[in-house]
Structure 1
């Protein structure tokens, strides 16, 4: 594995068919698949949803965090979490499937999670729409 954390795939372990390195096992321990029995449910129970963690999970301070719109916008525009929480919220069911679902049948073996069918689930997501935020960022 590379020691440069900014290099793409710097933490990609080298794979050898039939041999699982300590790095691969460590990455696999961060992930879990959906229980196949839950695929018949309209909404996947929260604790059963598949989890694939490519990067470290950021710890955010909701009082200090700002959502920033920059780059193609004329001026920098920020929203605090408190401002975002005052906006109208919508709850919708969202089905997600890992692009690597089915890779357990692929050869040569991938360095990532060897999913077959279990990397899919439907959750209810609640939040504000992005369009009103963009409209406020570029009047």
Structure 2
């Protein structure tokens, strides 16, 4: 199930990319995040393709941990992750390009159903992913533009 969202954001590619890769910035726009751990395969501090992710978040009163990996990384233009959710696998790609002085953020999300998963649960999970993607991207845009105007 592919989902594509595009939005124009009045900021620089570098500042917007910082919101995507910085743990502190992610916590601001993603909301329920408690922790994010990124393990680089090269044992360096920098994120790269193949880095493993552990994302801890809280829904209602329950803490959950998701695992995933960085599948695409080209700073400051492309950031892609794969998350393994209980009933679906989510591939999420953020592509940043500059158009007429404004950054165009294109977010492509592919939701796959692992073999043996319930199709109904996968469908319900995909609806939740679609809603989260829409609301979180709106918050990301708001924070990125607010930060840009504060710096001027």
Specify if TM > 0.5: no
Which structure has the highest strand share of the two?
Answer: 2
- TM-score scaled by length of structure 1: 0.23
More helix by share: 2
TM-score, length basis structure 2: 0.22
Structure index of larger Rg: 1
